[in-house]
Amino acid sequence: MLEFKIEQNVVEIGNVKLGGQPGENPTVMIGTVFYAKHKALLNEKTGEFDKNLLEQELNEYSEVIEDTGIQGIIDVVGAYPEALAKECEYIADTVDYPFLVDGLNDNSRIPAIKILSEKGLLDKAILNSIDESTTEENLQKLKDIGLKNAVLLTFSSRHIFPKQKLQLLNDHLIPKAQKANIKNIIIDTAVLDLASMGINFETVQLVKNELGLPVGFAPANAIYGWNYIKKYGDTPRCGAIASQMAYCVSAGSDFVLFGPIKFAKCVIPSIALIDAINSYYRKRILRKPISERSPLKHIF
């Protein structure tokens, strides 16, 4: 796993480099804001939020990102276009990270992307996502807007297993991204549930070995909904959450959608440790270069 067999494509969005061989670039840890039960979200229709609480969470996230050398992206969730655009604009003005425009569907995402384009924020905006249901009409809209960054989501009832997901990418999703003139393609292997996450592990390795594209997945919904662990209390639950995110990175993932941003300190130091170990191997054993930002230069 410590060296994939083909050359890896590295995508640069804002100050983030996604992709590469294990240990080459730090993992991108994606924290979510404005999700359904986010205490900072006061009104999802208008995009009203508690700025003090949100800034506190963003500051804590930024502190652990900078302290460990990990990379960051903010996942901005919203169901209403104007509210979603407003929230993305605030994130862009407040922190120096790229952000996912993560609407409920294309009816919320694409109008929000258009608003962001008019405000000159497309360089750091990443559509989440293009998937099997994205229409030709919407692909044309994205092309007309000039969007360059998008996640391709391999969710499909007909493409569940790893080789099927690879086929979905080759036959449908990558051609769709090309039609929309997407320059920077990022792959999300689409988690089904907690028990089946081995499918995502294998899919990540297939994508890295066959396509060389930046890839990862989102264990968040599955692990946070795992009721079994809750009987042991918050500390063991934090350990379980961190272990699942570490499993994601051990597959070779370039990014992890780790869920609510408030869990940054629970999760990110563990990922930094894995990154540092991989960077050490890459530098000392493979004799290959690593990022100047590598956690290897921060945590030991």
The answer to whether the beta carbons of residues 163 and 127 sit under 8 Å apart is no
**pLDDT value of position 290:** 97
Nearest CA-CA partner of 272 in 89, 18, 23: 23
Nearest alpha carbon to residue 153 among 21, 78, 257, 76: 257
Q: Which segments in the chain show pLDDT lower than 70?
A: 1
pLDDT of residue 12: 98
| pTM as predicted | 0.97
CA distances from 270 to 48, 240, 273 (A): 33, 11, 5
- Which pLDDT does position 260 carry in this prediction? 97
pLDDT at 213: 98
Q: How many residues does the chain have?
A: 300
> Any idea which architecture 11-297 has in CATH?
Alpha-Beta Barrel (3.20)
Q: Which residues contact 242 (CB under 8 A, 6 or more apart)?
A: 266, 267, 270
C-alpha to C-alpha distance for 36 and 7, rounded to whole angstroms = 39
Q: Give pLDDT, residue 1.
A: 56
Strand-strand pairing, 16-18 and 11-13 = antiparallel
| Per-residue pLDDT, 221 | 83
Please identify which residue in the block is written with the tokens 């990990």.
70
CA distance 179 to 147: 12
Say if residues 62 and 266 touch (Cβ distance below 8 Å).
no
CA dist., res. 202 & res. 196, Å (int): 11
